[in-house]
Amino acid sequence: MRRSSRAVICWMLVGAMIHAPLLGSVNAPWLGSLGSTAAAAERQGGQNARPAAPRAVKTAPAPVAKLDLGFVTPDAVVAVVAHPRRVLTAPESEMLPTEVITAAGKKEAGFDPLQLEQAMIVIEPPGTDEPQVGLVLRFAVPVDEKGLLPALKQNTVKDEFEGKSYYRAKDARDASIFLPDNRTVLVGHDALVRKMVKNRAAPKAGKVGRLLGAIGGNPDLAAVVDVEPLRGLIAAPLAMAPVPPPFESVKKIPDLVSSVEAKVHLVGDGGMSLVVRANDEAAAQELEKIVDGLMRTALQMAEAEIGRKGASDDPVEQAAAQYAKRMLDRFARLLRPKRTGDTLTLAFQGGEQTQIATIGVLVALLLPAVQAAREAARRAQSVNNLKQLALAMHNYHATHNRFPARANFDARGKPLLSWRVHLLPFLDEENLYKQFHLDEPWDSEHNRKLIPLMPQVYQNPSAPAQPGKAHYVGLVGKGTLFEGDKARRIAEIRDGTSNTLMFVEVDPDRAVVWTKPEDIEFNPQRPLEGLGKAHPGGFNAALCDGSVRFISETIDRQVFVRLAEIADGQPIPLDW
């Protein structure tokens, strides 16, 4: 499974490189056209109803062809190289639909992707216009020029350069096509294609070419970035980026880094490395401190989150916290780069390290989805809790011809027990209700013993469990349903029951003892105080008609004020 996964990842990387997502700001529609082979392969694979013919048994992967660095111009700032043929013909790739890839490639692009020995992207920085992009495709066998890249050719005209006929782009946004020989194809912005051809004839090595040539070990995927010419382009958007204060130091990194190199082995035992070269040793030391600080902050935040989940009474969350802590410790060791002079290196040599990294990536991708699903289930349970409470309120009203007041009161007007206690008979909790001394306050010696017996219907499942603490409260204040010591009737809700709040879900740190006559004091100047963090993005609320709505933390404050008051006569927008 692990070896097959690496082969799949390699093909995805090659496809991603051809699509060039890192060039999102480059106005080059032809980059998308080059991705049609992969899209066609996916379509044909899905439509293929007949089983494919038996495949030949593979032995060793194809050798890596020598990289022609002459196409890397002196002004290049980025170069990315992949070796699709070597990876796709390796034993690890046995389960890939290579027959479909071959057929789709021939049909859509005029060549067999399995014969593509090398694919190299070269990027020069923007001048007055946009970044210049060139793609070098090197094949193991001669290619048929006549049927090559038909989708791109239709936007070209025949021209001549350096004594050879080639396909020149009609528009600056389109791609030119140049064949230096019958196994090499250049595709890209016309000015850069011409520059690449001239440089190959009389090679001049720039920084990126030298760094790329120095990468040893024949990696399946390699990339080099010269950061110095790009600092201005990086600094402006980075300075404006909303980076959280604990991570502000990340904005210093571009000024310290000279170049970045990466290489990945996807066949064999695997392995990958990232090399960051600083301006000098002093810059490398500062960069090391920044990286250590960022990692330390990230670990502290992760440990805090793990601790929160570990405190849950949910055994699944407790186990997830234990696993996360174990993996966090391993990652902290694996992801710490080593500094030598002016260079920081992060390397995985395959085996256990690669396995841990792969598992970590999968967990990083899957856990958020699992957590989102669990949160959705908890939020649904919270909605159900509020519906039960609203139904109990209406049943109480049907019996007593009014809703319960926020509490019952003694002769001196002191509140004794919350409305949550008085709803118990309508929540199938008659026996618990009968145990209360209704003429005593919530914290009397007798009533205090009943606090741990709180029904679960009063607890938000998304909040940390706090014995005896309720997360559903009323709004107490002038004009609200629970104003003063009044017990309201439905007829008093003149704004309409569908436009008036009954209960809201408070933030976890604002939970109240369920028997205590305590709710949220409604302040029209700060109407959302204590609300908004019950769930990611907001909180649930029950309306007086028994329905439940999710209220965004960004709701208009004035709209919320109108929802809180039962008879202010103010209209409520339909899309609140």
Residue bearing tokens 């109407």: 527
Partners of 116 in the beta sheet? 139
Per-residue pLDDT reduced to its tens digit, 399-418: 999 999 999 999 999 999 99
Is the confidence at residue 129, as pLDDT, over 70?
no
> pLDDT band for position 306 (50/70/90)?
confident
What H or E segment, with its residue span, contains residue 466?
none
pLDDT, average across residues 5-10: 39
The Cα 507–Cα 495 span in angstroms is 27
pLDDT, average across residues 427-435: 96
Higher pLDDT, 27 or 263: 263
Predicted pLDDT of residue 161:
95
Q: Is 164 helix (H, G, I), strand (E, B) or coil?
A: strand
> pLDDT band for position 131 (50/70/90)?
confident
Higher pLDDT, 31 or 352: 31
pLDDT mean across residues, the chain: 84
| Distance from chain centroid for Cα 132 | 30
Partners of 165 in the beta sheet? 160
Cβ 337 vs Cβ 291: under 8 Å: yes
The Cα 426–Cα 435 span in angstroms is 15
Is the confidence at residue 355, as pLDDT, over 60?
no
> pLDDT band for position 54 (50/70/90)?
very low
Is the confidence at residue 360, as pLDDT, over 80?
no
Q: What percentage of the chain reaches a pLDDT higher than 90?
A: 56
Strands 475-476 and 520-521 turn out to be parallel
Per-residue pLDDT reduced to its tens digit, 520-551: 999 999 999 999 999 988 999 999 999 999 99
Per-residue pLDDT reduced to its tens digit, 501-516: 999 999 999 999 999 9
> pLDDT band for position 12 (50/70/90)?
very low
Predicted pLDDT of residue 23:
40
Q: How many residues belong to the chain?
A: 576
Predicted pLDDT of residue 336:
82
Predicted pLDDT of residue 399:
96
pLDDT, average across residues 267-282: 87
> pLDDT band for position 92 (50/70/90)?
confident
pLDDT, average across residues 208-226: 91
Residue 265 CB coordination number (10 Å)? 22
Q: Which of 178, 149, 131 is nearest to 34 (CA)?
A: 149
Q: What percentage of the chain reaches a pLDDT higher than 70?
A: 82
Where helices occur in 311-350 by DSSP H, the ranges are 315-334
Higher pLDDT, 229 or 22: 229
The Cα 234–Cα 280 span in angstroms is 20
